[in-house]
């Protein structure tokens, strides 16, 4: 199985991208992994959040295949400790899906059509973070999860 981490729009802050790059490289030691940046949709500057989410969902749907297992990173998703997330990831990796796709939405979140396609929703915190920052937090946690699964010392219990 391959893990892909999809994000809408590029990371604007250099310091965030540096951290993301570090963890992306580390994750690739464990599993085929790719971070995919979905370009911001080209839509009227006067478009409403609903119109923006709808346009983003149309792009996402075209990228998904029927064998993908889609997990949304959403503040209303299930919260896990790092150890619990490692256990859950291990279960997801046992599925017959070809790709495990984690998706961070744009600034306005997800259209309902994408929520219906998702098999699961994951929240990284009770706190709300920008969709830019969550990229760094997720990649660090994904690396942490693999270090837990491989009994490596990165995660101190």
pLDDT tens sequence across 12-51:
899 999 999 999 999 999 999 999 999 989 888 899 999 9
The whole-angstrom separation of Cα 133 and Cα 137 is 7
The whole-angstrom separation of Cα 56 and Cα 111 is 8
Name the DSSP letter for residue 124: S
Decide: helix, strand or coil at residue 116: helix
- The CATH classification number of 2-149 equals 3.40.1280.10
> Phi and psi (nearest 5°) for 95?
-70, 165
H or E element in which residue 35 lies: strand 33-38
What digits encode the pLDDT tens for the residues 78-87? 999 999 999 9
The pLDDT confidence band at residue 68, using thresholds 50, 70 and 90, is very high
Domain definitions of the chain by residue range: 2-149
Question: How far out from the chain centre does Cα 94 lie?
Answer: 19
Decide: helix, strand or coil at residue 125: coil
Question: How far out from the chain centre does Cα 11 lie?
Answer: 14
**Residue 8 burial class via C-beta count within 10 angstroms: exposed 0-12, middle 13-18, buried 19 and up:** buried
The whole-angstrom separation of Cα 16 and Cα 23 is 11
Pick from 23, 20, 22, 2: which is nearest to 11 by CA?
20
What digits encode the pLDDT tens for the residues 103-156? 998 888 899 999 999 999 999 999 988 888 999 999 999 999 999 999 998 877
Decide: helix, strand or coil at residue 155: coil
- The confidence score (pLDDT) of residue 157 equals 59
């Amino acid at each position: 199985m391959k893990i892909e981490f999809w994000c809408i729009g590029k990371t604007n802050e250099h310091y965030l991208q540096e951290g993301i790059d570090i963890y992306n490289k580390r994750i690739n030691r464990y599993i085929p992994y790719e971070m995919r940046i979905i370009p911001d949709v080209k839509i009227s500057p006067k478009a409403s959040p609903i119109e923006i989410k709808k346009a983003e969902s149309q792009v996402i749907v075209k990228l998904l295949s029927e064998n993908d297992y889609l997990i949304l990173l959403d503040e209303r998703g299930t919260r896990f400790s790092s150890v619990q997330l490692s256990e859950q990831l291990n279960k997801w990796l046992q599925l017959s899906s070809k790709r495990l796709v984690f998706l961070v939405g744009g600034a306005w979140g997800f259209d309902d059509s994408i929520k219906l396609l998702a098999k699961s929703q994951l929240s990284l915190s009770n706190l709300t973070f920008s969709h830019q920052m969550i990229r760094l937090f997720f990649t660090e946690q994904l690396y942490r999860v693999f270090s837990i699964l491989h009994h490596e010392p990165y995660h101190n219990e």
